[in-house]
A and B are shown apart, each in its own frame.
Chain A
């Protein structure tokens, strides 16, 4: 996992810039992906992740920077290299699936072989095989428009894989599917990737999709890389307030009191002191403003936590099934908690506790 940025990286993106008028969609983005690895570009809409993907695919021309795939420079602004999309040897699964309505399923899937002038018999055999793999063996002769969304997605996937591309790009490939289907496709994609061992880049705004599919994440914000790392690390130790908010954590303003062996002591506006782990980088100076980031699931309610309880008032609750989401008022600070359902009415006083290791303290 280490050395992703080293010279052996299969895909290297370096200092990529792309502007639309005055808007900088990509503002000096760099990252790398190892061969056979899976990377997710995660971020809110408009963060530049789709532009990034389209630049790799050759569908968009960056203003400056370089892109290298498998040791081959496919884009370099300084040397004037810009390989067109069709010469980059990729597979792309588009958000809209882009399944051609005037062709049958087999024609859609066989298209990459047709343009490569693969002999008909061989092409037909390969189409049959890949359709079996994606579970559409029965649908080869159907018109692509007769298929359901999930089936069209599989057609798009089969088409992206059939020519054995060195790299497959997925643009929000799962976000048009309903929840159950999305879950199923995500598992199938993982299995397929293990079996076919292609390098993959997923673009998504859905964190569970990113965590579930990728070995590495690049979180983007406003055209820049906000952080990069393994899913567990990004998830458990949000590196910036932006990421914490994007992942849905509580982000509370507080004041730094002291740094005790990597554990920060902070004071919340209403006076309570809290302890939390410090993020990367130099520790904030005592007295400076900091942000405490706490996962909703880690705002523990009730007295049996073994920690000094904080007093809060219940504002509202919303029953979610296995869990319940609560809106709490901790001395004027709004806090959200997701806990096992325990009832309670607005106005109730509740005790809550936050473990130091589950509270990340970042400079404001």
Chain B
């Protein structure tokens, strides 16, 4: 090949008539089989527990045998406790949704469109609650506001002379308050990108044609963001209403029934699986209807508000009073969701005996020492949670990549249906999916193992990862892989050297997200754990009536794990935006 390419002849006397390739069919190569396997695994993970729940709800045990019947439904529907629970759950869901939307939209708007001081820090700060455990949040708020012994109550009474004893944290109001703190970031995330990327020309056009600032906000900006806001609202409603953690901590102690705690109660001794299953089926029906309504709504209204040109949205100067008000709101939110609960947790965890007052002179690490080194239950819980989170996140991300490949590169005719089915778990409350797996596994060797918990985790949460990875696919031109194939790479090589490296930011983000979710999961675990497979969250529940100090110490351990993941998330996110 010396002396330049021309002589060597790139192409000139190449390929002395290559012998004809033997006939072969390649209709089922790796390229099709692997992504399809991911989709099928996902469908099975969803269909299994749902069908189990449905079938169980239609069975009644009589004289040692089962027979199909609507008796369970009739029993549930004629029970006033059921209606009580549904009513309370609806109040909690609506209340949390309305407040989260108001707070989330306002915070996102302040960060994206105003000159509020410290925006770049607050932008991140507003997201921290997304990574924290609602159950621990609820416990912390008990430490802060428990009647008579709450830290905050004591502070107000002693330092300011204000008696807050009329505030009862063990109430629907308490549930709504804590739910709002944790679900505000969902709305915030949903509306942030349309607010930020909205083409300023759309708003300028309104101003130029004579609309005032407020008129423009009401008639142009908010309507343009409304699809995102409504999506966020629906997600918050479905997930907050289905959340087991907060009602368990704040509603159950004062005897307030809610949907998740009623399902939990129905499975406890003396258990009535038929009742729990029929309850679950009805909740599922509502959730699926709501999700379908949202899909239809979004399909009809998809605005092209991002023009792709490098516009910077207009930034509104707030003025001195405005800035003070904005910062106060931020202080209330981040204070209420992050700083106060964390401070309370730390104080309780450092106190040998919690009496409602923190005494720095008597602070000790004894609780941590006990929880981490001397107590079998909590030691095992930490290890179990770590195993579940590490393995679960990895399995979930592998499934997600395969499914996202299918949804973006597979047969276009089957994509829509697959997408609709694969996003079902997004709206299914963890406790109901947990119930489904419990019904499936209860008479099998899987019952009481970490494996069944792991399967439930993956089944409930893989769609989050699939969505994240799928969104990244949209940004990757298929020609990037095709040019690898045309250059001589096999499908597997084009995956390994081109597609996976390009997907890496999304894969990392999805992995960390699953890790966070699995570290704190409670709703599904509470039905599936057995002695020896307790997780951190389960141990917190089990210890909650024994010792505040152990609970707080274990919660701090969990908090540290979550914050580590959050820190890594920030690191990788920055690298995404840099790329």
Q: How far is the CA of A59 from the CA of B19 in the complex (A)?
A: 22
- Let me know if A164 and B14 touch, CB within 8 A: yes
- Let me know if A112 and B24 touch, CB within 8 A: no
Residues in chain B near residue A159, CB distance under 8 A: 483, 487
Residues in chain A near residue B490, CB distance under 8 A: 84, 86, 115
Does A83 interact with chain B (Cβ within 8 Å)? Answer: yes
- Let me know if A102 and B477 touch, CB within 8 A: no
- Let me know if B19 and A72 touch, CB within 8 A: yes
- Let me know if B487 and A81 touch, CB within 8 A: no
Does A211 interact with chain B (Cβ within 8 Å)? Answer: no
- Let me know if B486 and A90 touch, CB within 8 A: yes
Residues in chain A near residue B501, CB distance under 8 A: 102
Does B124 interact with chain A (Cβ within 8 Å)? Answer: no
- Let me know if A71 and B18 touch, CB within 8 A: yes
Instruction: Name the interface residues of B19-74: CB closer than 8 Å to any CB of A.
Output: 19-21, 23-26, 29
Residues in chain B near residue A129, CB distance under 8 A: 4-5
In this complex, the member of B20, B488, B579 whose beta carbon has the largest number of chain A beta carbons within 10 angstroms is B488
- Let me know if B19 and A111 touch, CB within 8 A: no
Does B479 interact with chain A (Cβ within 8 Å)? Answer: yes
Residues in chain A near residue B498, CB distance under 8 A: 100
- Let me know if B6 and A89 touch, CB within 8 A: no
Q: How far is the CA of A169 from the CA of B485 in the complex (A)?
A: 13
Residues in chain A near residue B482, CB distance under 8 A: 57, 59, 85, 92, 94, 98
- Let me know if A196 and B10 touch, CB within 8 A: yes
Does A23 interact with chain B (Cβ within 8 Å)? Answer: no
Does B417 interact with chain A (Cβ within 8 Å)? Answer: no
Does B493 interact with chain A (Cβ within 8 Å)? Answer: yes
Digitize A1-42: 1 where CB-to-B-CB distance is under 8 Å, 0 elsewhere. 000000000000000000000000000000000001000000
Does B12 interact with chain A (Cβ within 8 Å)? Answer: yes
Residues in chain A near residue B26, CB distance under 8 A: 82, 84
Partner of A165, one of B1, B9, B11, B479: B11
Instruction: Name the interface residues of A95-143: CB closer than 8 Å to any CB of B.
Output: 95-96, 98, 100-102, 111-112, 114-116, 122, 125-126, 129-130, 133
Residues in chain A near residue B488, CB distance under 8 A: 86-87, 89, 112, 115-116, 163
- Let me know if B480 and A100 touch, CB within 8 A: yes
Digitize B469-498: 1 where CB-to-A-CB distance is under 8 Å, 0 elsewhere. 000000001011011111111110100011
**How many Å from the CB of B39 to the closest CB on chain A?**
21
Does B164 interact with chain A (Cβ within 8 Å)? Answer: no
Q: How far is the CA of A81 from the CA of B21 in the complex (A)?
A: 8
Q: Taking CB as reference atom, which chain A residue is nearest B8?
A: A164
Does B15 interact with chain A (Cβ within 8 Å)? Answer: yes
Q: How far is the CA of A112 from the CA of B6 in the complex (A)?
A: 19
Partner of A70, one of B1, B9, B17: B17
Given contacts A129-B5, A166-B15, A196-B12, contact A72 B20 (CB under 8 A): yes
- Let me know if B11 and A115 touch, CB within 8 A: no
Residues in chain B near residue A162, CB distance under 8 A: 10
Q: How far is the CA of A161 from the CA of B8 in the complex (A)?
A: 13
Does B390 interact with chain A (Cβ within 8 Å)? Answer: no
- Let me know if B493 and A85 touch, CB within 8 A: no
Instruction: Name the interface residues of A334-362: CB closer than 8 Å to any CB of B.
Output: none
- Let me know if B6 and A195 touch, CB within 8 A: yes
Does B502 interact with chain A (Cβ within 8 Å)? Answer: yes
Q: Taking CB as reference atom, which chain A residue is nearest B2?
A: A125
Given contacts A79-B23, A115-B493, A198-B10, contact A72 B18 (CB under 8 A): yes
Residues in chain A near residue B485, CB distance under 8 A: 58-59, 84-86
Q: How far is the CA of A159 from the CA of B485 in the complex (A)?
A: 12
Residues in chain A near residue B479, CB distance under 8 A: 94-96, 98
- Let me know if B477 and A96 touch, CB within 8 A: yes
Partner of B486, one of A36, A85, A166, A199: A85
- Let me know if A98 and B14 touch, CB within 8 A: no
Given contacts A86-B486, A96-B479, A98-B477, contact A80 B24 (CB under 8 A): yes
Residues in chain A near residue B29, CB distance under 8 A: 84
Q: How far is the CA of A116 from the CA of B493 in the complex (A)?
A: 11
Residues in chain B near residue A283, CB distance under 8 A: none
Given contacts A102-B501, A164-B10, contact A74 B483 (CB under 8 A): no
Partner of A164, one of B11, B477, B487, B497: B11
Q: How far is the CA of A277 from the CA of B25 in the complex (A)?
A: 52
- Let me know if A198 and B21 touch, CB within 8 A: no
Total chain A interface residues with beta-carbon distance under 8 A: 58
- Let me know if A112 and B12 touch, CB within 8 A: no
Number of A-B contacts (CB under 8 A): 137
Q: How far is the CA of A126 from the CA of B4 in the complex (A)?
A: 10
Instruction: Name the interface residues of A183-227: CB closer than 8 Å to any CB of B.
Output: 195-199
Partner of B487, one of A80, A82, A111, A130: A111
**How many Å from the CB of B547 to the closest CB on chain A?**
51
Residues in chain A near residue B18, CB distance under 8 A: 70-72, 89
Residues in chain B near residue A130, CB distance under 8 A: 5
**How many Å from the CB of B498 to the closest CB on chain A?**
6
Q: How far is the CA of A122 from the CA of B2 in the complex (A)?
A: 11
Q: How far is the CA of A204 from the CA of B11 in the complex (A)?
A: 23
**How many Å from the CB of A50 to the closest CB on chain B?**
11
- Let me know if B487 and A163 touch, CB within 8 A: yes
Does A91 interact with chain B (Cβ within 8 Å)? Answer: yes
Q: Taking CB as reference atom, which chain A residue is nearest B494?
A: A86
Partner of B10, one of A92, A95, A116, A161: A161
Residues in chain A near residue B487, CB distance under 8 A: 86, 91-92, 111-112, 115, 159-160, 163
- Let me know if B483 and A199 touch, CB within 8 A: no
Q: How far is the CA of A94 from the CA of B477 in the complex (A)?
A: 11
Residues in chain A near residue B15, CB distance under 8 A: 70, 89, 166
Q: How far is the CA of A111 from the CA of B483 in the complex (A)?
A: 10
Does A73 interact with chain B (Cβ within 8 Å)? Answer: yes
Partner of A166, one of B1, B11, B19, B25: B11
Q: How far is the CA of A76 from the CA of B24 in the complex (A)?
A: 10
Q: Taking CB as reference atom, which chain B residue is nearest A197?
A: B12
Residues in chain B near residue A91, CB distance under 8 A: 486-487
Residues in chain A near residue B491, CB distance under 8 A: 84
- Let me know if A59 and B484 touch, CB within 8 A: no
Digitize A154-182: 1 where CB-to-B-CB distance is under 8 Å, 0 elsewhere. 00100111111110110000000000000
Digitize B349-374: 1 where CB-to-A-CB distance is under 8 Å, 0 elsewhere. 00000000000000000000000000
Digitize B450-485: 1 where CB-to-A-CB distance is under 8 Å, 0 elsewhere. 000000000000000000000000000101101111
- Let me know if B5 and A133 touch, CB within 8 A: yes
**How many Å from the CB of B73 to the closest CB on chain A?**
43
Q: Taking CB as reference atom, which chain B residue is nearest A200?
A: B11
In this complex, the member of B4, B17, B483 whose beta carbon has the largest number of chain A beta carbons within 10 angstroms is B483
**How many Å from the CB of A53 to the closest CB on chain B?**
11
**How many Å from the CB of A176 to the closest CB on chain B?**
12
Given contacts A130-B5, A196-B6, A197-B11, contact A74 B489 (CB under 8 A): no
Q: Taking CB as reference atom, which chain B residue is nearest A125?
A: B1
In this complex, the member of A57, A86, A114, A122 whose beta carbon has the largest number of chain B beta carbons within 10 angstroms is A86
**How many Å from the CB of A14 to the closest CB on chain B?**
15
Residues in chain B near residue A88, CB distance under 8 A: 486
Q: Taking CB as reference atom, which chain A residue is nearest B19?
A: A72
Q: How far is the CA of A112 from the CA of B10 in the complex (A)?
A: 14
Given contacts A86-B485, A98-B482, A159-B487, contact A199 B11 (CB under 8 A): yes
**How many Å from the CB of B156 to the closest CB on chain A?**
56
Q: Show 28 residue pairs from A and B whose CB-CB distance is below 8 angstroms, ordered by the A residue.
A: A36-B12, A59-B486, A71-B20, A72-B18, A72-B21, A73-B20, A81-B23, A84-B29, A85-B486, A87-B21, A87-B488, A90-B486, A98-B479, A98-B483, A100-B484, A102-B502, A115-B488, A115-B490, A125-B1, A129-B4, A159-B487, A160-B486, A166-B15, A169-B486, A196-B11, A197-B12, A198-B10, A199-B11
Given contact pairs A98-B477, A125-B1, A197-B12, enumerate 20 new A-B contacts (beta carbons under 8 Å): A59-B486, A70-B18, A73-B20, A80-B23, A84-B490, A86-B489, A86-B493, A89-B15, A89-B18, A92-B482, A92-B483, A92-B487, A98-B483, A100-B480, A100-B498, A111-B484, A112-B487, A162-B10, A196-B12, A198-B10
Interchain residue pairs A-B with the least CB separation, the first 5 = A198-B11, A98-B483, A85-B485, A98-B479, A92-B486
